Amino acid sequence: MPTTSLRDLLKPPQDPGAALAAPGPRRARAVWIGRRRYAPIHDLQKQLVEARAEGRIGDTILLLEHDPVITLGPRANPENVLLDSGALNERDIDLVATGRGGDVTYHGPGQLVCYPLLDLRPDRCDVRRYVRSLAEVMILLAREHHVEAGVVDGMIGVWVDRAAPHEWGGAEWAREIAKLGAIGVRLSRWLTMHGFALNIAVDLEAFEMIVPCGIREHGVTSLHELTGRRLTVAEVALASAPQLARGLDIEVGRVEDLSGVADLAGALLAPEAVAGEGRSAP
């Protein structure tokens, strides 16, 4: 099965003619599922992608925060994990090899993780466009909290000027760029998995356990560090429908709160998750 990683971003779209199609409005169901361990949600993503491929559900967006975990992409440099397995176990931090693009990342409480499970066919079969749309969602979310962010050539993710968080004129004008959000995706047959992680009020010292995304020369920051406001991930996630809709160019209704649901697969694979077009939450 062909897959696409972030290393393929410099390649042209595989199907440039697909953009000529003009389907009707696209809708996605967005759900907040609370704090979860990584491995079960990775398995859930795979179940939902299979259901999406078979037309049993529509486009779905998972919003959550993870228990502490370090993840490695298929081409990650293991030397970018700076603690050994024993030290990670002592801190109750999972170490997981995963199929997304990118190098080494950390996820933990205080970080908004977004997994859009979308079918990009027939008119959105462009990897660079999709990755840029994920960045746009994070930029819009940051702007809601009076932080201006942007992208930097050659470095995946969303960046800010730590010295002037309310301005962004590009990396060339910034005095101290820092990473606010990471992106790592996997595409198979134009079905998407994984997504982005936006630092809301995450413990920034946790990033000292890794070389984030293999980038040593720039630090990591959060909305809390930049603004002094301690937002919760839940409040940002539950209010994120407008930014998701604008950034992904897709209709998104009110984000549903499924944080208390134990059987997420049962809830998300239910027949009312309209196949083909997705569903807007009430």
Annotated catalytic sites, by residue?
213
CA distances from 31 to 9, 52, 62, 115, 130 (A): 28, 16, 5, 10, 20
Report which DSSP code applies to 39. Answer: H
Distance from C-alpha of 41 to C-alpha of 106, rounded to nearest angstrom = 15
Closest C-alpha to 75, from 233, 199, 213: 213
Closest C-alpha to 196, from 105, 119, 261: 105
Total number of residues shown for the chain: 282
Closest C-alpha to 202, from 110, 115, 137: 110
Asked if 127 and 190 count as a contact pair (C-beta separation under 8 A), the reply is no
Distance from C-alpha of 271 to C-alpha of 49, rounded to nearest angstrom = 15
- Burial of 249 per CB tally in 10 Å (0-12, 13-18, 19+): exposed
Residue type, 36: R
Euclidean distance between the first and the last CA atom of the chain, given in angstroms as a whole number: 36
Non-local (6+) Cβ contacts of 155 within 8 A are 213, 215, 218
Residue 194 burial (CB count, 10 A):
25
Distance from C-alpha of 152 to C-alpha of 158, rounded to nearest angstrom = 7
**In 3-state terms, what secondary structure has residue 143?**
helix
